[in-house]
Amino acid sequence: MRLFTAVDLSREAARHMEELQKGCRTVLPCQRWQKIENMHLTLHFLGEVEESEIPSLQSILREVTRQSPAFFLEFNDWGAFPNETRPRVIWIGVKEQPALLELQRTLAPALQSYGYAEADKPYVPHITMGRNPKGNDIAALRQQVPVQAVRWKANALVLYQSVFGAGGVRYRAVERFPLTT
């Protein structure tokens, strides 16, 4: 199973992402768009995990999240990977949130045996908007499609499975691990 851990958006945050995507369609069209229902903030991408390993993975996630506080997230601004000169992924970033970074950092070593590979670059929390933009004018996006500081509470870490089907990829929640409140 192809797995990753992520935090969901609130309804209000998803609604704002939808508005931002409409603006992005006019200012910087992408070849591929992230569906609104698929939007999330990834913490760890695990890749293929054997089904037999899932119960132990779930117990690690349960153990750590039980001791980790819930936190607030807030949209920040547009961003691009690998950089803004030659963007391939257009995304919306969130304001720096120590509790999110702490949760990501705490879990990282425990998840390495399940396929999580620590990147050589720092973790950049982001929500993917679209891929393969037809242009690179991120400055125009910033100016013409302003990001509002929508704030929402991350109550849980979710273990997701990527499911490939006729309608494209869909993310199925395997289990939600509540954070402490």
Residue number with CB closer to ligand 2AM (41 or 147): 41
d(CA 163, CA 175): 15
C-alpha closest to that of 65 among 173, 175, 157, 159: 157
**Exposure string (b/e) for 107-131, b if CB count within 10 Å is 16 or more?**
bbeebeebbbeeeeeeeebbbbbbb
Residue 36: CB atoms within 10 Å = 12
Catalytic option among 68, 126, 127, 129? 126
Q: Is 3 in the site for ligand 2AM (CB under 6 A)?
A: no
* Residue among 42, 76, 136, 161 that touches ligand 2AM (CB under 6 A): 42
Residues between 46 and 105 with contacts to ligand 2AM, criterion CB under 6 A: 89
User: Is residue 162 close enough to count as binding ligand 2AM by CB under 6 A?
Assistant: yes
40 is catalytic: yes
Q: Assess whether 126 carries a catalytic annotation.
A: yes
The encoded tokens of residue 119 equal: 């990147």
Q: Is residue 128 a contact point for ligand 2AM (CB under 6 A)?
A: yes
Instruction: Count the residues in the chain.
Output: 181
CB of 181 to ligand 2AM, least distance (A): 25
45 in contact with ligand 2AM (CB under 6 A): yes
Task: Please give the positions annotated as active site.
Answer: 40, 126
